């Protein structure tokens, strides 16, 4: 169950990053700086969450390695 939650969280983060890329590109194409900035923000938020998920995975792996 816990592994599925981690997978779903990672998937959501990747989707948020993809949505951010799309917004950013659309903002560039339509010369809308606000949409472009919003897209950059979405990408950054998704990336930060993704880093957090990787850190949790690393902590779990260390915990398993030491058998605690």
Phi, psi of 47 (to 5 degrees): -65, -40
Rounded to two decimals, the pTM is 0.78
Q: pLDDT of 19-47, one tens digit each?
A: 999 999 999 999 999 999 999 999 999 99
The mean pLDDT of the chain is: 91
Q: How does DSSP assign 4-26, residue by residue?
A: HHHHHHHHHHHHHHHHHHHHHHH
Distance CA 30, CA 39 (A): 13
pLDDT for residue 15 is more than 80: yes
Cα–Cα–Cα angle for 57, 10, 66, rounded to 5 degrees: 10
């Amino acid at each position: 169950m816990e592994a599925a939650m981690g997978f779903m969280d990672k998937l959501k983060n990747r989707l948020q990053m993809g949505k951010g890329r799309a917004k950013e590109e659309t903002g560039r194409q339509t010369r809308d700086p606000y949409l472009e900035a919003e897209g950059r923000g979405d990408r950054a938020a998704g990336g930060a969450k993704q880093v957090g998920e990787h850190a949790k995975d690393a902590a779990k792996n260390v915990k398993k390695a030491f058998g605690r």
